Amino acid sequence: MKFFFHVGQYFTLLKKVFGRPEKLRLYVRQLFHEIDTLGVNSVWIVIIISIFIGGIMTIQFAYSMSNPIYPTTLVGLGTRDTLILEFSSTMLALIMAGKIGSNITSEIGTMRVTEQIDSLEIMGVNSASYLILPKIVAVVFIFPFLFIISVFFGLLGGLVTGPIAGVISIPDYIEGIQWLFYPYYITFSLIKSVVFGFLVASVPAYFGYYVKGGSLEVGKASTTAVVNTNILILFFDLILTRLLLT
C-alpha cells in the first residue's frame, strides 16, 4: 500500500518538476551551479575508485586465468568488459547514489523543514521545478561523462597495476583490451548511465521534498533515499540488461 502511495506521489512530483519554468535564465544559472557541485566535484572520487578497481580486477583475472590453456589476452578483455558492462555504469551509480543522492535529499529536505520551500511557493515560484529540474538535468548530463572517465581510468589502473604486480605484460594487456570489442556495449552502458542518472537525482529529491519534521528526519530521509535508489538501480539494471543485451 505504502509502496503505491510513494509511486503515485513520485509521479505527481515529476509532473510538477517538468512544469513550465518561470524564468529560463534563472534555471540555466542554477543548472551550471548544479553541474559544478554535483558533477565536477565527483570527478576525483570517480577517478580514484576506478583506478583501484581496474587494478584489482586485472590482478584477479590474471590469477584465475593463470592456467596456460587460457590466452593471456583474456585478462585485458575481462577487465574491459566488466568495467564497461557493470562497474563503470551500475556500481558507479550505486556509489554516486551514496554521494550525490544523499547530498540532494539533505539539501532539499533542509529547505523543506526550514520553510525555504514554503517561502518559494509563497513568492509564486514552482519550487519543485526550480529546485529539482536543474539537479535532474545536471546529473543526467554528467553521468555519461563519469562513465567514460571511469572506464578510461579503470583500464589505466589495470595497465599500471598488472605489470607492476608481475601478472601480465603491457603488450598482452593492451592487446587484450582491444580483443573482441563490441562498440554496442558502450551504447548499452551509456543508456544505462542516463537512466541511473535520472534515478540518482529524482528519487532522493522526492524523499527530500516530502520530508516532515526536523533535522533528524532529514538524516533519516537521506538514508531511506539512498537505499531505495540503490534498489531501483539494480532493478533497472536487470530490466535493461534483459531488454537490450539478451
Partner 1 sequence: MIEVKNIYKSFDGANVLKDISNRFEQGKTNLIIGRSGSGKTVLLKSILGLYDIDQGEIWYDNREFVKMHHKERKKLRREIGMVFQGGALFDSLSVEANIRFPLDMFTHQSPVEKKKRVEFCLEHVNIEKSAFKLFPSEISGGMQKRVAIARAIALNPKYLFCDEPNSGLDPETATIIDQLIQHLTREFEMTTIINTHDMNSVIEIGESVLFIAKGEVAWTGSNKEILETRNKKLNDFIFANKLYAQLREEKN
Residues of this chain that bind partner 1 (CB under 8 A) = 22-23, 26, 110-111, 114-116, 118-119, 121-125
Is the Cβ of residue 7 or residue 121 nearer to partner 1 in the bound state? Answer: 121
In the complex, the smallest distance separating the C-beta of residue 115 from partner 1, rounded to whole angstroms, is 4
In the complex, the smallest distance separating the C-beta of residue 127 from partner 1, rounded to whole angstroms, is 11
Is the Cβ of residue 16 or residue 99 nearer to partner 1 in the bound state? Answer: 16
Residue that is written with C-alpha cell 517561502 in the block: 119
Residue 41's identity, in one-letter code, is N
Is the Cβ of residue 45 or residue 125 nearer to partner 1 in the bound state? Answer: 125
Is the Cβ of residue 22 or residue 217 nearer to partner 1 in the bound state? Answer: 22
Residue 209's CB is within 10 A of a number of other CB atoms, namely 24
**Distance set, CA 170 to CA 79, 119, 167, 192 (Å):** 14, 60, 10, 31
Is the Cβ of residue 16 or residue 185 nearer to partner 1 in the bound state? Answer: 16
Closest by CA to 230, choosing from 92, 23, 38, is 92
C-alpha–C-alpha distance, residues 144 and 150, integer Å: 10
Per-residue three-class SS string for 183-215: HHHHHHHHHHHHHHHHHHHHHHHHHHHCCCCCH
Is the Cβ of residue 109 or residue 158 nearer to partner 1 in the bound state? Answer: 109
In the complex, the smallest distance separating the C-beta of residue 129 from partner 1, rounded to whole angstroms, is 12
In the complex, the smallest distance separating the C-beta of residue 121 from partner 1, rounded to whole angstroms, is 6
In the complex, the smallest distance separating the C-beta of residue 130 from partner 1, rounded to whole angstroms, is 9
C-alpha–C-alpha distance, residues 113 and 61, integer Å: 50
Is the Cβ of residue 17 or residue 151 nearer to partner 1 in the bound state? Answer: 17
Task: For residue 33, give every residue at least 6 positions away whose Cβ sits within 8 Å of its Cβ, in sequence order, or none.
Answer: 134
In the complex, the smallest distance separating the C-beta of residue 29 from partner 1, rounded to whole angstroms, is 9
Task: For residue 40, give every residue at least 6 positions away whose Cβ sits within 8 Å of its Cβ, in sequence order, or none.
Answer: 142
In the complex, the smallest distance separating the C-beta of residue 32 from partner 1, rounded to whole angstroms, is 14
C-alpha–C-alpha distance, residues 104 and 96, integer Å: 11
C-alpha–C-alpha distance, residues 46 and 210, integer Å: 30
